Structure 1
C-alpha cells in the first residue's frame, strides 16, 4: 500500500456513533467505520482500561433529575441562596442519587500506507451510566460544594444501570502530521519519531506494520509552570505472554541468538526484542550490550538492517 490522503470528517464519525447501540462486541461500529473509508483498512487496535467520571442525578425511582451533576449542583446551590445546608437538606429530603459514567476508550486504526507513521488513530468512548451513591452521606455531610459534588467518603449503593451503552467520538489523529508538529517543538530527535524510524529501517518494518503491534497517541501533561503540554506516547496493543530477558551473564553466540529468536517468535515478528527493550520492561538494555559484543567480535546473526539500528542505539541510546 502506498501512502494516500485520507479524507474523514469528525462529524461523520460522530453521526456514525449516534446511530449505533453498542453490543457485546464492536463489530457493528467497526463495519460502519470501514464503510466511511472503504479504500483503507480499519481495525480495532486496542480497548483501553475501564475508567469512570461523574454522571448525573436521579431520584429513588430512577427518574432523571439532571444529566450533569456538576452543573445541577452549582445551579441548585445558587437557587438555595448559596446556603450549603439548605442544599443538603433538600437533597436528603428528595433522596437523590448521583450516577457515574463508566467507560472504555476504543482505539481504531485506519491504515493509509506501509510506513510506521502512515495511519490515523480514531478514539471512541464506549460508556454506560450506572448509579453510584446517595448524593449526600447523612452520617458525614459535605463541608463545601466541592465535597458535595465529589465526596471523599461517599455513601455508595447497589449499582443499577440507566438505558443502554453509547458510543461517543473523542478525536482522530493523523499520526504523520501529528508527529511533524511534535518534532518541530522538540529539541533534537523525538524518541517516538526515532522508534518509528528504527522500525521502518529494521527487519520488523519489512514484516509487520507498526500499527499491528503499537500505536502512537497524543497525551497531555502539565509543565513546570502549569502550562498544558501535548506530547506523543507509544502504546503496545498486544497481550502476548513474553519472557523477561534480564540476565545475560555468560550468554553469547548461538545461545544468545537462540534466546532472541525464541522471543521474536513469541512476539510474532523479527527484531521484536529490540523494540520491547526500547519500550517496556520485558527486555533489559544489557541485551543490546551483549548482542553488540557478539557482532563486534566473531558472530554475525543479525541482518544488516538490524545491525545498523543496534549500532546506532549503542552510539546514542534512547527509550520511550
Structure 2
C-alpha cells in the first residue's frame, strides 16, 4: 500500500483524520474512547494505548482578572511590549501597574499509541496525543520581575491555579519509528545507542517473545544545527505503569542467587532479558550484572541462552548508554 510513498508523507496524510477524531472525544472517556474513535476514523490501523507521560506544562497566554483573553501567546506579548519600550522592564511594569493580568499554562500529559506495521521490531506507527488543560497561573508583575524569565515563568510565588478551559485532546504527531531511525542512522556510519538496542532486541530472547513496541515507545526529537543540518535524537521509554521493580541482588552476587534475581526481575516486567534492556534504558539494573553474567558463563554456570550471552558479551566489549 505504501511502497511508493515515503512514510513521512503517508503519516502527514493521516493527520487530518486523527485531528478530527481526537477533537470529538471527551477526555473523561479515557484512552479507550480515544482508541475507539481512532479505529472508526482509521480502520486500517489498530492503535493500542502504550503509555501516558505527564507532569509537564507549556507557557500559555494572558487573561484578565475577569477572564477576558488578552493574548494567546505570553512570550510573544512580553517580547512585543518590551520591544516597544526598548527592552526597559521597569517601564513595562509601570505601564501595566494598574492592571491585574494573569499568565496561563497548558498542563497535560502525552498519550502514546502504537500500531505494528511490519516484520521489523521498529516497524510501527507511533501516535502522540496530548491531553491538555489551560490553567490560570501567576499574576504578571506581582513579583517585581527583573528578567523575562521572572515575568513569564517564575519559580516561586505562583497563585493557586484555576482552570481556564476544559481538558481536551490535541494531536501532536504520528510517525513511523523505523523510518525515523533510518533517517537518523544515515547521519553517521556508527549506529546510535537506540539502533543497537533495537538490534539487540531482535537478536535476543526478548525479540523472540514479543515485539519491541509492546514494551517500549521512542521519544524523538529533530532540530537544525548551526549549519542548518537536521539532527535526530531518539530515546526509548519503557511502557511500565510506575517504576521498574527493584533489582534484588547486591554487588558481587553471582551463580544461582544472581540467576534467581534475573529471573524474578524478568517475570515482574513480563519478558525474558528484561533485566538487560532495563539496565540500558531505565538504569533499574546496575552494570556490574552484565560482567558477572559473563563470568558465570565462563565458569560453566550457563543460565542464559547462547544468543543472549552473545548480546551481553558484545555489550561488554562495546558498551553503550541510552
Please confirm whether the aligned pair reaches a TM-score higher than 0.5, indicating the same fold.
Answer: yes
2:162 to 160, 163, 168: 160
1:310 to 309, 312, 316: 312
Deviations 1:270-300 (A, max 9, x none): 1111111222222222212222122223233
Judged with a 3 Å threshold, the aligned counterparts in structure 2 of structure 1 residues 283 and 79 are, in CA distance, closer, same or farther, namely closer
Whether the 8 Å CA contact 1:135–1:148 is kept in 2: the answer is no
1:204 shift after superposition: 0.8
Say whether 1:56 aligns with 2:58: no
In the superposition, the TM-score normalised over structure 1's length comes to 0.85
1:21 shift after superposition: 3.2
Judged with a 3 Å threshold, the aligned counterparts in structure 2 of structure 1 residues 78 and 231 are, in CA distance, closer, same or farther, namely closer
Judged with a 3 Å threshold, the aligned counterparts in structure 2 of structure 1 residues 153 and 305 are, in CA distance, closer, same or farther, namely closer
Whether the 8 Å CA contact 1:57–1:99 is kept in 2: the answer is yes
CA distance in 2, matches of 1:258, 1:246: 9
Judged with a 3 Å threshold, the aligned counterparts in structure 2 of structure 1 residues 82 and 270 are, in CA distance, closer, same or farther, namely closer
Judged with a 3 Å threshold, the aligned counterparts in structure 2 of structure 1 residues 221 and 295 are, in CA distance, closer, same or farther, namely farther
Tell me the SS of whatever aligns to 1:291. helix
Say whether 1:142 aligns with 2:135: no
1:100 shift after superposition: 1.5
Judged with a 3 Å threshold, the aligned counterparts in structure 2 of structure 1 residues 294 and 150 are, in CA distance, closer, same or farther, namely same
Say whether 1:209 aligns with 2:211: yes
Gaps of 5+ in 1: none
Judged with a 3 Å threshold, the aligned counterparts in structure 2 of structure 1 residues 274 and 142 are, in CA distance, closer, same or farther, namely closer
Whether the 8 Å CA contact 2:249–2:258 is kept in 1: the answer is no
2:259 to 257, 274, 278: 257
CA distance in 2, matches of 1:90, 1:24: 45
Alignment partner, residue 15 of structure 1: 20
1:130 shift after superposition: 0.9
Whether the 8 Å CA contact 2:111–2:128 is kept in 1: the answer is yes
CA distance in 2, matches of 1:164, 1:155: 25
Whether the 8 Å CA contact 2:109–2:130 is kept in 1: the answer is yes
Tell me the SS of whatever aligns to 1:41. coil
Deviations 1:159-215 (A, max 9, x none): 211121122222222111111111111231222111111111211111112112111
1:81 shift after superposition: 8.8
Tell me the SS of whatever aligns to 1:255. helix
1:119 to 120, 124, 143: 124
CA distance in 2, matches of 1:277, 1:151: 36
Judged with a 3 Å threshold, the aligned counterparts in structure 2 of structure 1 residues 285 and 141 are, in CA distance, closer, same or farther, namely closer
Query: Paired residues, what number?
Result: 313
1:257 shift after superposition: 2.2
Structure 2 matches for 1:69-84, cutoff 5 A? 69-76=74-81
1:271 to 270, 273, 279: 273
Judged with a 3 Å threshold, the aligned counterparts in structure 2 of structure 1 residues 59 and 267 are, in CA distance, closer, same or farther, namely same
Structure 2 matches for 1:26-45, cutoff 5 A? 26-45=31-50
Whether the 8 Å CA contact 2:254–2:296 is kept in 1: the answer is no
Judged with a 3 Å threshold, the aligned counterparts in structure 2 of structure 1 residues 143 and 195 are, in CA distance, closer, same or farther, namely closer
Tell me the SS of whatever aligns to 1:302. coil
Judged with a 3 Å threshold, the aligned counterparts in structure 2 of structure 1 residues 142 and 260 are, in CA distance, closer, same or farther, namely closer
Alignment partner, residue 111 of structure 2: 106
1:86 shift after superposition: 5.7
1:134 shift after superposition: 1.5
Alignment partner, residue 193 of structure 1: 195
